[in-house]
Amino acid sequence: MTSFFSRLSYTFGNEDPTTEHKALNIQESDNVVCITASGDRPLQASINACKSIVTVDANPLQNYLFDLKKVAIATLSYDEYLDFLGATECSPLKRITIYNEIKHLLTTPAKDFWNRNPKIIQKGVLYQGTIEKFTKAFSPILNVLRGKKIAQLFNFDCIKEQEKFVKESWDTKSWRRLFDIVLNPLVAKIILNDPATYENTDSNEKKGQYVCQRMTDCLSKTLAKKNPFISLILKGRVEKDAFPLYLTEDGQKKIQKNVHQIEYKTKGIIEYLESAPENYFNCFSLSDVASYLDEKNFHRLLRAVHRTAAPSARFCMRQFLSSYQIPVELSKVFVRDKELEKIGKEDQCFLYKFTIGTINK
């Protein structure tokens, strides 16, 4: 797992912020803690004004990416912001020119990293993570295998018509078999080297079929052309119609008002919470951190969350291929909201199972 914490694994982000917004209901008086990853989560959490946001990641590079996005969203015009990140096309020279204009606003460690890695900036940081590079490399192969079907899928404006197409033409045996190949633990380890795909996974779950079925279910509820994650998988990039909130003009304006509230910490989330003040945080946006923990450390995380949680704090956890349950001794502390958990079924990033609720103290 060492290399995973010393590379840019995620640069675009693969989570639907709508679920967290509904689950956490962030208020102006709230102190929020979240996982950094691509940096999208803390930025999108700041759409709602709050007292503070601490974003935590054991990988310093992910925090440096967040810092770069934070400065860009706070200081650039909307068009410059999209060009600089790589959401829209522009020249490498323009991106470096913009970087040189804003780099003095970065933290010193982040500035040192980006000064050493100008090529990442020249290419546009949004698609330079390991996962994003994989989807970019894999999408031409998909285009050869089913280019006509992909074009048809992204042409629908009616969800009922899309659902009919998926059922009759898209969801084939060969398509399902492809998921089995890519998500075979050995293949996933070689290609992605992402522990979430091969460590701490539910041995009873057929990973390829699980992901394929979740994608099929998602396509019965959301248009492919409006879904950033499906666009990323099938096209290798995301067009404006499917931009997540922080890449929209309205989203940028809202985030600009509150982005100063966010600070990053380079530390494992368990270690950070074990050293944080008691009864402090009102909201825990924990992403799919459970996917990177064994069961013992998952329980340790829950205890650390409980210690640092203010009374009636809200939490939202995702799980990809892990299936941890809240242990019996903590079940009266972590009070799950089954109704809120149902919103996870509408999540545009179809990969995750949700645990949502409040902390009883």
pLDDT 10s digits, 250-274: 999 999 999 999 999 999 999 999 9
The pLDDT tens digits of the residues spanning 165-176 come to: 999 999 999 999
Query: Residues 84, 89, 91, CA angle at the centre, nearest 5°?
Result: 70
Question: What per-residue confidence (pLDDT) applies to 196?
Answer: 63
The β-bridge relationship of strands 262-266 and 281-285 is unpaired
Which of 22-26, 106-110, 179-183, 256-260 is predicted least confidently?
179-183
How far apart are the C-alpha atoms of 123 and 95, rounded to whole Å?
8
pLDDT in tens, 1-45: 547 778 999 999 889 999 999 999 999 999 999 999 999 999 999
- With beta carbons less than 8 A apart as the criterion, state whether 302 and 11 touch: no
pLDDT of residue 203: 64
Q: Which two tokens stand for residue 160?
A: 């009922």
Separation between Cα atoms, residue 95 and residue 80, nearest integer Å: 9
Report pLDDT for 315: 98
Task: Kindly list the domain boundaries of the chain, sorted by start residue.
Answer: 3-62+245-359, 130-242
- Check residue 192 and give its pLDDT: 72
Task: List residues bridging with 283 in a β-sheet.
Answer: 32, 314
Which percentage of the chain shows pLDDT scores above 70? 96
Q: Is the pLDDT of residue 122 over 70?
A: yes
Q: Which residue has the tokens 């829209």?
A: 88
pLDDT at 224 over 70: yes
Task: Give the CA radius of gyration of the chain.
Answer: 20
- Among residues 120, 60, 69, the alpha carbon closest in space to that of 95 is found at 120
Q: Contact 238/136 with Cβ under 8 angstroms?
A: no
pTM: 0.94
The pLDDT of residue 188 is: 72
Question: Which pLDDT score, from 0 to 100, does residue 206 have?
Answer: 81
pLDDT at 85: 99
Q: Which of 117-131, 171-185, 227-241 has the lowest mean pLDDT?
A: 171-185
Q: Could you give phi then psi for residue 316, rounded to 5 degrees?
A: -140, 120
Q: Which two tokens stand for residue 117?
A: 């890695």
Q: Evaluate if residue 49 carries a pLDDT over 60.
A: yes
pLDDT band at residue 336, thresholds of 50, 70 and 90? Answer: very high
- Tell me the average pLDDT across 226-240: 95
Mean pLDDT, the chain, integer: 94
Q: Which of the listed CATH numbers 3.30.565.10, 3.40.50.150, 3.40.50.12780, 1.20.140.10 matches domain 3-62+245-359?
A: 3.40.50.150
Distance CA 300, CA 41 (A): 23
**Confidence category of residue 121, pLDDT binned at 50, 70, 90:** very high
Q: How does residue 204 score in pLDDT terms, banded at 50, 70 and 90?
A: low
b/e string for 264-277 if b means 16 or more Cβ within 10 A?
Answer: bbbbbbbebbeebe
pLDDT at 3: 78
- HEC string of 191-249 equals HCCCHHHCCCCCCCCCHHHHHHHHHHHHCCCCCHHHCHHHHHHHHCCCCHHHCCHHHCH
Maximum Cα–Cα distance for the chain, whole Å?
Answer: 57
pLDDT for the residue numbered 198: 62
pLDDT at 87 over 60: yes
Query: Which residue has tokens 């949502």?
Result: 356
Q: Is the pLDDT of residue 247 over 60?
A: yes
Question: Which residues, at least 6 apart from 75, have a Cβ–Cβ distance to it below 8 Å?
Answer: 102, 105
pLDDT of residue 207: 85
